[in-house]
Amino acid sequence: MSSPRYSDRLTLAQYRIAMSDEVVIEAMVWENREPETEAERKDLEAGKEALREIDRLKIDGTYEIERARFAALVDPPSPTLARLIERVANGENSPFQNLLDGLDRNPDPEQRARFERLYQEGDFDHKTPREIWHILECLESAKKPKGRPSISPPWRNEVEHMDAMRLSIASGATVTVPEAARATAANESRVSAERPNDLAKLYRAKMKLRE
């Protein structure tokens, strides 16, 4: 099966590599592990393909070179998209985030129903940000789940350790995941007895996203 394409010069996987760090792509795949539509399924497969390619490039030591090459082939954004990107960078995307929180993470079923009704009746799927911005700015603040938000993916704070384990296994310095975890943990100043097991579990979950 051919890879989904971003343009005539790049596959969607290559575009993902150019535009997003590995852990960001992993978060996208992690949160979309059960796609509901064909578009989501294709996006999931492109994400997995990107992660497999990142593994290969990082092991070969050519990741930064290839990422720069892919980035040079990305089409420049349209003026509308460029303005939206600038708004996000300036923290002006909060109305959109509030909408997403109201639809997806809202612990209040009545408020979530109001957000869903507005989204459906307003036909937001087929409107541009400019057409609905004035509505989003007037929305009530979405309620959020209590407690600390979960980390996505779970190894987000262990990126360096995951990189070290990947290279250790690929080079043959260690043969198994538990061995790589023990070797990586041994470089820390203070290590609990559970630390190698925790690293091994995270690494297996990381690698499973590539399947």
- Distance, CA of 189 to chain centre: 31
- The answer for residues whose C-beta is within 8 angstroms of residue 2's C-beta and 6 or more apart is none
- Has this prediction a pTM greater than 0.75? no
- Reduced to 3 states (helix: H, G, I; strand: E, B; else coil), residue 6 is coil
Condensed to tens digits (0 to 9), the pLDDT of residues 24-71 reads 899 989 988 888 778 778 889 999 999 999 999 999 999 999 999 999
| Of 20 and 199, the one with more pLDDT | 199
- Determine the residue type at 173: A
End-to-end, the C-alpha distance of the chain in Å comes to: 15
Which pair of tokens denotes residue 52?
């497999």
Residue among 79, 57, 77 nearest 68 (CA): 57
Q: For residues 152 and 27, is the Cβ–Cβ distance under 8 A?
A: yes
